[in-house]
Structure 1
């Protein structure tokens, strides 16, 4: 019998993942707070697109507005609930779906940042699973329309990494990975926390920088000044993660130690990292924007406190400097509040 899957947050990631699962024949219900998006999907289905024409699909899928979530009372309980909301929405999204979980149901954090502890505080560690989405880059650019702006991972790059907090391979982690293979490549990891921090390193290099400057991904990586600042941010985040004891994974083809040394001025390391970033830009759509830059463009709150702010805070706790992250977090906050407009001039001289 098919598992009942509920996805809280049908935006760029949740909608993309849920749409492909539904397309593969899974029993999926999406829940989202954007009324126009919900109504479009009800009437016309999800419109999914990507880099190639073969990635274009129109997918009928069940969807509920958050205000109609009580309708789940008339359906079988959820076996698997994915949380695909912003980090600051984690707690209420978890509480929203908790009453509708099956007795052996569990919650999967498919989010940026590190939110498993927030979820476990509400449902318990026995009902909490983590999942990192690496190099997926999609955007909900209109109600019902989601476009992925980077190539599929496939055999070249494992996109989804599913893991338990205790680091052991479990049947349910294997089950989640198998479901996600309908979307792109997936595996079970025994290094959830190392994977989480590695993804945080990448996000901390890109999200705040693009949000503060308004630069698209390729503009950021092709210009020497922003690229160098991105590398410095990555370097600081690596050093904090290493000091915390995480086993960091390769990130976008970059070794953690090489990235750290590049940001510290090692010429050979810097040349290697620059080439990797330039190669990534050659494969990426020119209109790709990190999620926080999308938030600024749409007048929404960002996750800066959970990305650059998290690196700065954890570094402060253990005495590892992450001053560039603290400064970036402050700058993004000013942009978010409308005190200054996004501009590359804001990082001049950094």
Structure 2
């Protein structure tokens, strides 16, 4: 995670340094920015807050401002896009008395970070205004953040959160083949029921559905039904040189449709090192808005041996390894299993790996 702490006064820069010293960030990339002439020597400096934000806003997942809230609100307003995209933003006074969760309280984790900092700073208080948190309820977008679920409709999310804050009971329906998630979700004190097939009577209920499969159209675009999709699939791709992005995309969609896999459950694509400049493959990643990981020959060889993957003699003669799509997808996950074995289609091979859930 990339974190920026931005201060505007000398006392604020001292607080920034204190916050930066907390062990909570030891695995993160953190930079302190101080107004020119008003910070510690070790801090990077800036003259214009707007210009600084143009540089750091797209790169950071958490921004901590130590200055007046009004300055922050006016400064970040032009950068705001959507709650699914905006970083978490905290605002503190220079004495650290109040830690305000200003933006992306749930999905970005601002509420969680505000509570953490208030516990670390003596005499500090977290200021959290989201209705579900005020009422000590767990919002679905908190579950989505903690379990890496994709939210199908933010209109439904707003409706469900409002109903939850008004005291309505919301039941979670979890696809039976994802039962491994159930104990962890129940741990949030939520009611979770397993389903093989959703009863039609639920269409009028206020519910949350968790599945990585394609649901009938009637379950979507309803305010009272929130669908969340676990993003735990990786698609491995092998292809001949100069295959178009359109053909690769068609193959991916065909495999997902045939195997009843919601394309929203895919978190990344993977292939071999020799495909890192393959225009069609790069276009596919851009269209799907998915990262692509490219693996070297040695990494693929290791995966082939570890998982005892079948190899193609033709591919092995060409690349020195005989399996690209399955091996590349397996390289992407710490622990996982092949959900869809290598499928050949129009000079393209596709495999789907599901990452194991760990809690």
* TM-score when normalising by structure 2: 0.28
Asked which structure has the greater CA Rg, the reply is: 2
Higher strand share: 2
Higher helix share: 1
* TM-score when normalising by structure 1: 0.28
